[in-house]
Amino acid sequence: MSKEVAVGKFDGKVTLVTGGGSGIGRAICLAFAEEGARVVVADVDPAKGEETAKAITKADGETIFLQADVGRAEQVKAMIEEIVHIYGQLDCACNNAGIAGTMARVVDCTEENWDRTLLINLKSVWLCMKYEIPPMLKQGSGAIVNTSSAAGLVGLPGWPAYVASKHGVIGLTKSAALEYAKANIRINAVCPSIIKTDMAECFTGGDHGVEDYILAQQPLRRMGTAEEVAAAVLWLCSDAASFVTGHALSVDGGLLAR
């Protein structure tokens, strides 16, 4: 009797993940690879990006790493062109690269912090979709998930630039979803609350008192994991979510249900 070969949900698919070098991005890359996708790990930091790619290769997955600053149009364009040149297709994309920026109230927020946070968290998502969508149009299908935040659905005192950028991602996602629904390209957003990654320390400052306060607001009384966010992203990209587009999916432990 021949040995059965396990078939992943994304066998034969090519997936791009920006900010794939660490945290949620790395978890998304590994999850896609585990389900059979050929994963393009994109990150501005080559050391971190290569580390993710090596982890995928070690687990017998197929991957390449592309260094790109997603805030620069020419680098995003070159990245997508390289993917299409190598694989001839782009089936899924998770525009996940982002930063917390610096904590400051509206009056104290610097122009530099505002511009950089909006550039990396919002403009980059637009730039990525600008170049990801054309090859998807040619092949007649595609799925895109943009990483927003629970802070893209509610306010967060002290983080005006971050909150504005993440609200913007949701609005951009909805507009793009409406524009390309007839082309069989689904575009959604995922909205994590505080997730146990290095970025979480940007919001807590490493202060256990602040962390305890945040956890007390969580109905599930814990932080989420990067793997839990990755599972939501994979579902949104999968055939199981074939009738879902223009949606902002909260992965927040019930935080916004209050």
In a domain, 5, yes or no: no
Mind listing the pLDDT tens digit for each residue in 212-227?
A: 777 787 888 888 899 9
Contacts of 203 (CB under 8 A, 6+ apart): 100, 103, 159, 194, 210, 214
Look at the chain and report how many structural domains it folds into. 1
In a domain, 183, yes or no: yes
pLDDT tops 90 at residue 207: no
In a domain, 215, yes or no: no
In a domain, 205, yes or no: no
Mind listing the pLDDT tens digit for each residue in 166-184?
A: 999 999 999 999 999 999 9
Confidence band of 202 (pLDDT split at 50, 70, 90): low
In a domain, 58, yes or no: yes
Find the domain containing 98 and state its range: 14-197+225-252
In a domain, 84, yes or no: yes
In a domain, 6, yes or no: no
Q: What percent of the chain has pLDDT over 70?
A: 93
pLDDT tops 60 at residue 4: no
Residues taking part in catalysis: 162
This prediction has a pTM of: 0.93
What average pLDDT does range 129-134 have in this prediction? 98
pLDDT tops 50 at residue 154: yes
**CATH code, domain carrying 93:** 3.40.50.720
In a domain, 3, yes or no: no
Mind listing the pLDDT tens digit for each residue in 78-120?
A: 999 999 999 999 999 999 999 999 999 999 999 999 999 999 9
* Per-residue pLDDT, 197: 72
Over the chain, what is the mean pLDDT?
Answer: 93
